[in-house]
Structure 1
Amino acid sequence: MTQKPLILVTNDDSITAPGIRALIEVMKEIGEVIVVAPDSPQSAMGHAITINNTLHLEKVTIDKELKNEYSCSGTPVDCVKIAVHEILKRKPDLCVSGINHGSNSSINVIYSGTMSAAVEAGIEGIPAIGFSLLDYSWSADFEPVKPYVKKIVLEVLEKGLPEGVVLNVNLPKKPIKGIKVCRQAKAVWEERFDKRTNPQGKEYYWLTGEFVNLDKGEDTDEWALKHDYISVVPVQFDFTAHHAIQQLNSWEL
């Protein structure tokens, strides 16, 4: 690559979150950085987009070294869309999303705003990576994972990604033993609704639940993270269940 790579940075925890600020610091060592991120937390928004409301975009200065930082009123996917179609002069060489405060392993990839931003970039034909740290604390320490984030990004920039694939990278909080390429573990949320009554007598609910890993395999993201490895899962956005086509063609449709 003859010129510095152009890197789009986004997230779902908001533009001021420590995780995205840590990711920006690493990306500044690698290329030209443009930031478009939500103006408020957008966790668990999945692939939601804004269609029944207006979007607001504001140029901000959080890092004085950056010329292009934008705060967006929309979802993480909105941020990628507006960056690609309204802000960027050319398609970026990479989109990185995160670093999320908390895990996006296994089935959580479906709900994740962090990963949905990366998937949207992939749909646009941009190599993309979502990064998440297994620490929900706002004051989480991102310093130990920065070298690994940089290593993975440089590999993607040098070697590219298969067509239609983005990476879901989860980083353990404990001292890291290494990096493992994994499959997504089969797991579920056993959900409950905590039913309460407000002072006016109106009922309301809080969603709660417990994450249950049903997968005993040693080639999964959950296994890797439990054993202090970074998990790298290639994620595709073609949802077709190709293995089921033959069976469905046997139906009398």
Structure 2
Amino acid sequence: MGTDERIILVTNDDGITAPGIAALVEAVRPLGKVVVVAPDSPQSGKGHAITIGIPLRLNEVDIFEGVEAWQCSGTPVDCVKLARDKILHRKPDICVSGINHGANHSINIIYSGTMSAAMEAAIEGIPSIGFSYLDYSFSADFTLCKKVAYNVTAKMLENNAPPGTLFNVNIPVVEDAHAFKGIKICRQANAKYVEAFDERLDPHGKKYYWLTGEFKNMDPGEDSDVWALENNYASLVPVQFDLTNYRMKEEMERTWKF
């Protein structure tokens, strides 16, 4: 693998056999040499989890014609770490994660394995993008998603995005191609799931629980990712992983005395 060759690392959290990752591979293949490293089973909701205390398995598989691909027994973050250290032996030029089956807008970014994989790459200084589609169906049509993924990835490469650049891209479900309004650069909405646990009894009379919830958008702004998606735009949110509240820090430095 030549050091001057553009390398695109592809990963996800739905597992290496998910239709979304096949669509992403197809979308970005024209832009460089694609290498896939993805979990061997679904890892949705794992966030930034890493595997500690048990061994990780990494096996080469023949799933995508003409594309080097590896399946990993660990989390999406494990996949990115192993890809850099044991497969590529260098940083890829870009990392793309997805295409996730389901939304990762607003607060979902905190829980998302798709975005955590991209974030791990960004922490390593690799420009990265997480892609998600608001259709949860296994048989979802990824035609529009592939166009969005190609355009955003190509734009990131063309503009030589600085190390650590991280985008969260969500794609709406539209009635037809003419209803899609394009890609809108947004901020993360103030929205979340109002959650509860449904308590039930198993056949032995022991309690068990299902997590349930309803999505609530508390954000009236027309520049948020939720608004964009509700209005047939794909949302692109530039993300950072410095969680410091700088406004509060400045206020505390003025008013708190220790």
Q: TM-score, normalised by structure 1?
A: 0.96
Quick one: distance in 1 between partners of 2:210 and 2:45?
15
What's the offset of the Cα at 1:246? 1.6
What do you get for the CA RMSD once the two structures are aligned?
Answer: 1.3
CA contact (8 A) 2:133 2:171 kept: yes
Q: TM-score, normalised by structure 2?
A: 0.94
- Which residue identity is paired with 2:132? S
Quick one: distance in 2 between partners of 1:4 and 1:172?
33
Q: Deviations over 1:133-162 (max 9, x none)?
A: 110000100012212211111110011334
Amino-acid identity (%):
59
SS of 1:168's partner is strand
1:188 corresponds to: 192
Matched, 1:48 2:49: yes
SS of 2:91's partner is coil
- Which residue identity is paired with 2:14? D
CA contact (8 A) 2:122 2:164 kept: yes
Structure 1 segment 194-233 matched on structure 2, within 5 A: 194-233=198-237
2:84 corresponds to: 84
2:173 corresponds to: 173
Q: Deviations over 1:218-247 (max 9, x none)?
A: 000000000000100000011111111122
Aligned pair count?
251
What's the offset of the Cα at 1:4? 4.5
Structure 1 segment 57-72 matched on structure 2, within 5 A: 57-66=58-67, 68-72=68-72
CA contact (8 A) 1:61 1:69 kept: yes
Gaps of at least 5 residues in structure 1 are none
CA contact (8 A) 2:169 2:234 kept: yes
Runs of 4+ in 1 over 6 A off after TM superposition: none
CA contact (8 A) 1:164 1:237 kept: no
Matched, 1:244 2:248: yes
Quick one: distance in 1 between partners of 2:181 and 2:250?
42
Gaps of at least 5 residues in structure 2 are none
What's the offset of the Cα at 1:64? 2.7
- Which residue identity is paired with 2:171? L
Quick one: distance in 1 between partners of 2:145 and 2:203?
46
- Which residue identity is paired with 1:251? W
CA contact (8 A) 1:5 1:92 kept: yes
Matched, 1:148 2:141: no
CA 1:63/1:108 → structure 2, altered by over 3 Å: closer, same or farther?
same
What's the offset of the Cα at 1:63? 1.6
CA contact (8 A) 1:10 1:35 kept: yes
CA contact (8 A) 1:4 1:30 kept: no
- Which residue identity is paired with 1:252? K
2:133 corresponds to: 133
SS of 1:236's partner is coil
What's the offset of the Cα at 1:252? 2.2
Quick one: distance in 1 between partners of 2:257 and 2:217?
37
Quick one: distance in 2 between partners of 1:204 and 1:51?
27
2:19 corresponds to: 18
Q: Deviations over 1:161-219 (max 9, x none)?
A: 34543000001111411111000000121101000111112111000101100000000
SS of 1:84's partner is helix
- Which residue identity is paired with 2:55? T
